[in-house]
Amino acid sequence: MIQIVQQAQGFSERTAIRSYGQNYSYQTLLEKSEQIALHLLNGRADLNEARIAFIVNPSFEYVAVQWAIWRAGGIAVPLCVSHPYASIKYVIEDTRAESVIYEKAFQDLVAPIAVDFQTSLIDLDEIGITVGLLPDVHRDRRAMILYTSGTTGQPKGVVTTHKNIETQISSLVEAWEWNQDDQILNLLPLHHVHGIINVLSCALWSGACCEFLPKFDAGTVFDIFLGGRINVFMAVPTIFYKLIAYWQELPVEEQVRITEGLRKFRLMVSGSAALPVSTLEKWQEVSGHVLLERYGMTEIGMAISNPYRGVRKPGHIGMALAGVQVRLADEEDKEVKGEAGEIQVKGDNVFLEYWNKEEATKSSFTNDGWFKTGDIAVVEDGYYKILGRNSVDIIKSGGYKISALEIEEVLRTNEAIKDCAVIGIPDAEWGEIIGAVIVPSEGKAFPDNLKAWLLDRLPKYKIPRSYIALDELPRNAMGKVTKKELLPLFQES
């Protein structure tokens, strides 16, 4: 049996999920996920790793659907609730999903799928009670596909097995001392490893409670915190930045009340993007907590973390988690000591493959099995410190890892654009914001409706915020765009 499901049986009467003001027990979650799983099987013995996509808002229903797919022997493919149809279509086409489960709010969005693909649509509200048996799912089987941007332009499907997921969860439960009395507020997207594994799955593995807030609002978040239920909080630096800004505008007596409430928390974690030291220091003033920084990515879950008990070094991501092998290597994949190198990771936490991308999978690993993260770091007094990426084509903004190449490919389809280059611009709130340098087509003006045009083709978080027009892009002798020359143009403007 899937480990997280098996453990839930020991917490049957405890509250597992709180969403839309309602509490749901572990027993209710087990019953609902079994009901959906039997519907998916429809008389079959096993889904045998059929891909089942689903688009459901963060809620009890989301968790029930995810568990149902696993329990039926399928591969869960969570879809982003804010993506346009073009992005949804890409994932369905790439995974060749057998079915798409949706809630009513997304009925119009997913309707074209039935026409474009041989994919059945399942209305979550219309799933009834079915009698049957569930398969025995081995932990080596594929469990989930999450899409992540990379240097190849289009997002790649990261395939994790149940064993990968169990390892990722159990290492964090041990490192961060999760227990059944914990209650965590989940504000994070549930098509990313941060929200799915670090928050939701760690809580449910431990018999704790995960509370969902469908839409971020700083005032509502602080109200929930002051309610006294929540004692663990994890977010991206952008969320902490927004909470700090809200707190600073409050009357002094309200600031004091919030700070006193936050001091009672057990743990606060920041991740998915570099945390500016200034944000860490300001949040410490607001909450009394030194945020725990950690390091991970879709392909590996979490690999490195500052200690739960011990010194947390600002600007550092910490030390390797138990059971995870980490090393620094040079450009020839030889381990280095006492100098900067690429972070490489090995262990049961590391993903199985990129979906249907054999060459991309092979090139992401060394000959002796180390996963190459692309992040450059040094070790200082035993703590890893990130220096940057070995690729200028990955932008980290608001917790998202965004491919510049993907955005460039879309921009170049606009007839008014001859050429373009997309870069990340350092920003205190977002980590980086997206900047685009545009070379207009001959005889064409800079397109004034570009943002609206892009919104039909890309998720909102991938839309550039700053634009510069040039007659031509700077290139090196090999004809490659020298993006480092572009950043000063944005800083000057």
Nearest Cα to 438, choosing from 421, 455, 453? 421
- Is 127 a residue whose pLDDT tops 80? yes
CB 100 within 8 A of CB 110: yes
The encoded tokens of residue 421 equal 């280059």
The pLDDT of residue 154 is above 70: yes
- CATH number for 414: 3.30.300.30
pLDDT for residue 478 is more than 70: no
pLDDT, residue 222, reads 98
Higher model confidence: residue 445 or residue 153? 445
In this prediction, residue 406 carries a pLDDT of 85
- The pLDDT value recorded for residue 447 is 83
Query: Can you give the chain as a three-state secondary structure string?
Result: CCHHHHHHHHHCCCEEEEECCEEEEHHHHHHHHHHHHHHHHCCCCCCCCCEEEEECCCCHHHHHHHHHHHHCCCEEEECCCCCCHHHHHHHHHHHCCCEEEECHHHHHHHCCHHHHCCCEEEEHHHCCCCCCCCCCCCCCCEEEEEEECCCCCCCEEEEEEHHHHHHHHHHHHHHCCCCCCCEEEECCCCCCHHHHHHHHHHHHHCCCEEEECCCCCHHHHHHHHHCCCCCEEEECHHHHHHHHHHHHCCCHHHHHHHHHHHCCCCEEEECCCCCCHHHHHHHHHHHCCCCEEEEEECCCEEEEECCCCCCCCCCCCEEECCCCEEEEECCCCCECCCCCEEEEEECCCCCCEECCCHHHHHHCECCCCCEEEEEEEEEECCEEEEEEECCCCEEEECCEEEEHHHHHHHHCCCCCEEEEEEEEEEECCCEEEEEEEEEECCCCCCCCCHHHHHHCCCCHHHCCCEEEECCCCCECCCCCECHHHCHHHHHHC
Neighbours of 330 (CB within 10 A): 12
The answer to whether residue 150 scores a pLDDT higher than 60 is no
For the stretch 417-431, pLDDT in tens is 988 999 999 998 999
Q: Tell which residue, 195, 197, 152, has the closest CA to residue 356.
A: 152
Q: Is the pLDDT of residue 151 over 70?
A: no
Contact at 8 Å (CB) between 481 and 474? Answer: yes
Min mean pLDDT across 148-157, 379-388, 400-409, 443-452 is at: 148-157
Give domain status of residue 408, yes or no: yes
Q: How many domains would you assign to the chain?
A: 1
Q: Quick one: average pLDDT of 123-146?
A: 96
> What's the average model confidence in pLDDT over 280-306?
97
Please check whether residue 290 lies inside any domain of the structure. Answer: no
Q: Which of 93-107, 352-366, 478-492 has the lowest mean pLDDT?
A: 478-492
Confidence band for 456, pLDDT divided at 50, 70 and 90? very high
User: What percent of the chain stands above pLDDT 90?
Assistant: 84
CA distance 4 to 349: 16
pLDDT tens-digit map of 75-97: 999 999 999 999 999 999 999 99
Residue 398 belongs to some domain of the structure: yes
Decide if 312 contacts 294 (C-beta within 8 A).
Answer: no
Q: Count the neighbouring beta carbons within 10 Å of the beta carbon of residue 220.
A: 12
In a domain, 253, yes or no: no
**Per the confidence metrics, is the pTM higher than 0.85?**
yes
Whether residue 344 contacts residue 329, with contact meaning beta carbons closer than 8 Å, is answered with yes
pLDDT at 228 over 90: yes
Q: Write out the residue range of the structural domain in which residue 460 sits.
A: 394-492
Report if residue 208 sits inside a domain: no
Mean pLDDT for all residues in the chain: 94
Rounded CA-CA distance 43/145 in Å is: 25
Residue 72: inside a domain, yes or no? no
Q: 240-254, 279-293, 431-445: which range is least confident on average? A: 431-445
Instruction: Let me know if residue 448 belongs to a domain.
Output: yes
Instruction: Give me the half-sphere count of Cα atoms (radius 13 Å) on the Cβ side of residue 317.
Output: 25
Min mean pLDDT across 96-105, 161-170, 376-385, 482-491 is at 482-491
88 domain-assigned = no
* pLDDT the model gives residue 246: 97
The length of the chain, given as a count of residues: 493
- Distance between CA 195 and CA 232 in Å, rounded? 13
Strand-pair partners of 297: 301
Reference 378, options 290, 307, 313; nearest CA is 313
Which residues have a Cβ under 8 Å from the Cβ of 26 and sit 6 or more positions away? Answer: 8, 9, 11, 12, 13, 14, 15, 16, 204, 207
Region 213-219 average pLDDT: 93
**Token pair 């009467």 in the structure block, residue:** 13
pLDDT tens digits, residue range 376-425?
Answer: 899 999 999 998 777 777 888 998 878 888 899 899 899 999 889 999 99
Q: Does position 492 have pLDDT exceeding 90, yes or no?
A: no
Burial class (CB in 10 A: 0-12, 13-18, 19+), 339: exposed
Nearest to 23 by CA among 183, 228, 133, 238: 183
Is the pLDDT at 152 greater than 70? The verdict is no
Q: Yes or no: say if 292 and 312 are a contact pair by the CB < 8 Å rule.
A: yes
Lowest mean pLDDT among 4-8, 155-159, 433-437, 445-449: 445-449
Q: What pLDDT digit, counting tens, does each position of 38-80 carry?
A: 999 999 999 999 999 999 999 999 999 999 999 999 999 999 9
What does the pLDDT read at residue 479? 65
pLDDT of residue 477: 59
